[in-house]
Chain A
């Protein structure tokens, strides 16, 4: 693999910068409220038709030396995150009455009630003499006139976006009672060029599409990247030297290595929940079966022996079971087996073909791609196969990946290519688990095969 490393040597230094995430020091701000918090403001996110919560986030106050409008951008990034979740509605800033001048005084709640804002976030960014940025915020329940939470962070100025995501998570968590997912990244395949001569590159970005950068140079085909749950590593399929194999990619160093010395194509990799093992398919002697590879002890283990195609394996979050795709019944269906390969049970029985099962990080659902009468769907079902629900439909929707809190699915959608060459675009989309709030995810180029990172915290 020396050759691969060499070819990515130039990328390594920029990647090191990318991977070096400055730990943001977090302190709790003392509540300014005298009455004990009653926390009346709460969003029930299990309800499909939840009315978005009206929220106001005025521009953060700028204190200390000027810092390139970071104060303005902080509130924008936070609002964008919350609005994209579908659970919040931003009040038009033009309607704001009170101008927030002091982070440490209580807002005039009446001014915010009049414009029907239920939640209010005030904040301040201070560029200190030591060059560090102090960012603080307070979340207010406008009707109860109480501070719900307040935190401050110290970071380097170029790391302000990360703090905006951390604040978004804190607000989301306080108001929904669920873990946030904004301080996360997405690895995906960036696509360019005509359909018959496509260039595909590994790329990584923040979950909101910012900070996108490429991890490979497009000189060979790359597919299906997936994040490690425990380290800054990605596993993916590379056609380096025309030998399609599963690779490990270290985001911090840019180094790559082949996973195992398999004779035959390895593909469809995923990490185990503890990050110690990669599970994948091996195509050998005209048959595709599922294997696991212990990364530390370098031990490979064959898990399926069926003459049919067995692929797309995905672990349950407790690491004890595996869901996978097989055509052993005659068509593509979903199965669940024990982690040692025993007791494989078919779980999908609806009309059509089922593929790409991915176990939810909560363990309660399996997301999948369904093909039925020439249309593609993203759906979910329980691990016993009950409760199937289809969330999206199009000409081609494929490859769902879960947000780390199990509330949102990201996938890719391709439109048909017409005879004149138009159409055929491939984009990332997200949809809420309820099937609502379908949105395109901004990417610098066309994109496919998204994989959500775990929470970085």
Chain B
């Protein structure tokens, strides 16, 4: 009896694993495939990562953010004619004018880190949208976390741009 139950359980876990594997492989074919041109905006966004996230009311870069910015800096050195604009964003749970200043701090923190990793400062400009350019529209903790970010947008020099 207990064996049978265990067996059913195992099948369930197996199914779950297969499902995850299927998702992962389908994602890989969508994003990492040959249709993405190296050195393009899509390459930066999907293969390198162009967005780092911040804690509530904070503009300090955590280890995950620093790791991604190191990849961004390497990518910019690999494609030396690229220029970028760092967009500083905030969630909707602050006041507009203060968030414009906070977004500037976030964008500046990203720029300063890229420069510390060897990227020429003249290739990196910054802009703050405060709470006025959210990427996620719901009033939930999950969306607010997504909207507290520094986004690296390719402005020139990319392949195919």
Contacts from A to B (Cβ < 8 Å): 194-196, 198, 200, 221, 223-224, 237, 242, 244, 265, 267-268, 281, 283, 285-286, 288, 309, 311-312, 325, 327, 332, 355-356, 369, 371, 374, 395-396, 398-399, 414, 416-419, 421, 423-424, 449
Contact = CB atoms under 8 A, between A and B. Distances in A.
19 contacts: A194-B137, A221-B132, A223-B100, A223-B132, A242-B127, A286-B109, A309-B98, A309-B102, A309-B105, A311-B97, A311-B101, A332-B95, A398-B95, A398-B96, A418-B138, A419-B138, A421-B137, A424-B137, A449-B96
Interface string B101-126: 11011001100100000000000000
A281 B97 contact: yes
A223 B92 contact: no
Contact of B96 (A224, A244, A286, A421): A224
A414 B96 CA distance: 13
Contact of B98 (A195, A198, A311): A311
A194 B108 CA distance: 28
Interface string B58-72: 000000000000000
A196 B98 contact: no
A82 B28 CA distance: 65
Nearest to A283: B104
B135 interface: yes
Interface in B120-150: 127-129, 132-140
B134 A281 contact: no
B101 A309 contact: yes
A434 B82 CA distance: 57
A335 to B, nearest CB: 13
A195 B134 contact: yes
Given A242-B127, A286-B109, A414-B92, A268 B97 contact: yes
A309 B108 CA distance: 13
Given A244-B127, A309-B98, 5 more contacts: A223-B132, A283-B101, A417-B137, A418-B139, A449-B96
**Which 3 pairs, one residue from A and one from B, show the smallest C-beta to C-beta distance?**
A416-B139, A286-B108, A195-B137
Contact of B105 (A286, A332, A369, A371): A286
B12 interface: no
A222 to B, nearest CB: 10
B32 interface: no
B108 A369 contact: no
Interface centre among A194, A195, A325, A416 (most CB of B within 10 A): A195
Interface centre among B97, B102, B140 (most CB of A within 10 A): B97
A198 B96 contact: no
Contacts of B100: 223, 237, 244, 265, 267-268, 281, 283, 311
Contacts of A288: 101, 104-105
Contact of B95 (A281, A374, A399): A399
B133 to A, nearest CB: 8
B7 interface: no
A424 B127 CA distance: 25
B10 interface: no
Interface centre among B101, B104, B105, B135 (most CB of A within 10 A): B101
Contacts of B96: 223-224, 398-399, 449
A417 B101 contact: no
A369 B95 contact: yes
B93 interface: yes
A355 B96 CA distance: 9
Given A312-B97, A398-B96, A196 B134 contact: yes
